[in-house]
Amino acid sequence: MDSVLGGSNKKTITMSTVATDYGMDKALQQLGLKDVNHGTSTGSTWYPGGEEIASYSPVDGALIGKVTTTTKEEYDTVIKTAQEAFKTFRAMPAPQRGEIVRQFGNKLRELKEPLGKLVSYEMGKSLQEGYGEVQEMIDICDFAVGLSRQLNGQVIPSERPGHVMREQWHSLGIVGIISAFNFPVAVWSWNTALAWVCGDVCVWKASEKAPLCSVACQNIIAEILKENDLPEGISCIINGDYTVGEWMTKDTRIPLISATGSTRMGRIVGKTVAERFGKSLLELGGNNAIIITPTADLKVVVPGAVFGAVGTCGQRCTSTRRLIIHESVYDKVRDAIVGAYDQIVIGNPLDEKNHVGPLIDKDAVDMYLNAIEKAKEEGGNVLVEGGVLEGEGYESGCYVKPAIIEAENTYEIVQHETFAPILYLMKYSGDVENAIEIQNGVAQGLSSAIMTNEMKEAERFLSFAGSDCGIANVNIGTSGAEIGGAFGGEKETGGGRESGSDAWKVYMRRQTNTVNYSDELPLAQGIKFDL
């Protein structure tokens, strides 16, 4: 079948039996992917690169394809090209930039199935979640199109007669995006869709654990930009290990770095960018909890907690890590959650009957196993045993069992984020303030939730003295954020905000203007300066 993005002459790799059975060969053709793909691009122009990154699927351990890494010389070419493109792009009226994003969203609608399959196969999340990630891309495009006509400043009353003050927003320049493996396309789109309507150009370094997704996305947007006769450099990708990321964070030509990843990585990025007085948007670790009160409805609690804990095999920054359960309902809730885990089906994520796919790689498996052992050493009581699955269908060695452990919030391992399906259960007594204190008693502050039918408890949780997280939900879980709201967290989560609300402002620079339309020159604060 002809590729939507390049014709039938595209050579694709030999697929594994699993991939062939689920149409991955066709998906790769439609996305313009080959055996070896150039990993550096300024649009329609691709650069040969240096070494190769091999992308192996955690689903079956098979080689999907390879991506060439960006050389330092190519990196400098990309940045210079992006700088030139910015001069043209920022001059386009914002609604016209929105039209480009609209076309991109429509192309994503056409390619939702193959791109969703690639996300699932390269990263390991369930096919439904892969499709859902592409839908997030479509949604943020729709949001950005509307936003392109609403990049509003404000008029401010002046204390001086015959004067007007106003505020306006200008394009920032190059936005550098460093994304993580767990959302290999959505987080990039959160940044780029907003940055583009704001008049910025983007340079994206994807995770080396899911590099093919970046090439596929670049293929899609490059076609749109070429059809609209726009210059090279508006959408750029680079690939490689952390050294490529270091080039970006130290580069004074990039005014904003948006980085998603671990708290450890965020500390390095934030410090490096701050030293050159750049701006950083950090989306880092989460250690998210659900508080379950005596009035909570189990019909809401169980699916919310279980999906939050095992969705994407626990590899979401918003994954539920802790359940803080009132002692009066603890046994009932515990038994319901444990019973629900018996129904979880683990296997090939391309098969929609399976709930949970693999971890990203064997390093992640080791981290998962070590965390379980540390929890046991600290006194944790294992309710649902973890472990690595073996046998037919699990040959990649990346499939693990979601585990449940009774623990204390003070355990060292509980205080840290483990990117794996490990759920810690703990009790609280007394009123909801005690539960909130436990929930807030970690270094991270991304997402939080309370399950209650008591209005006072819900409002206390949402008050200034309640959850200290950037996201606080009532009667839904910690994961599954919509693009309409600003996404991000506090404390060691980094403080950044992406996606909806007024998150667009980080991609622009603010300017205050004062205009004197009188024949006099009165000074502010009543100061007199007579000559």
Which one is predicted more confidently, 529 or 175?
Answer: 175
The CA distance from 519 to 531, in Å, is 16
Does the CA dihedral 60-61-63-67 come out positive or negative?
positive
- Averaged over 368-383, what is the pLDDT? 98
Give the percent of the chain with pLDDT over 70: 97
Indicate the SS3 state at residue 256. strand
The CA distance from 124 to 315, in Å, is 10
Residue 530: pLDDT band (50, 70, 90) is confident
Residue 125 in contact with residue 319, Cβ under 8 Å? no
The CA distance from 140 to 108, in Å, is 11
Q: What type of residue is 344?
A: I
Q: 133, 223, 283, 457: which is the annotated catalytic residue?
A: 283
The CA distance from 339 to 359, in Å, is 23
Residue pLDDT, tens place only, 5-61: 433 334 445 578 888 889 999 999 999 999 999 999 999 999 999 999 999 999 999
Of 5-9, 180-184, 383-387, which gets the smallest average pLDDT?
A: 5-9
- Averaged over 228-245, what is the pLDDT? 97
The CA distance from 280 to 265, in Å, is 13
| Residue 93: pLDDT over 50 | yes
Active-site residue 482, yes or no? no
Closest CA to 6 of 30, 36, 40, 28: 30
| Residue 225: pLDDT over 50 | yes
Taking the whole predicted model, whether its pTM rises above 0.85 is answered as: yes
Residue pLDDT, tens place only, 301-351: 999 999 999 999 999 999 999 999 999 999 999 999 999 999 999 999 999
Domains and CATH numbers, the chain: 17-284+498-509 (3.40.605.10), 288-482 (3.40.309.10)
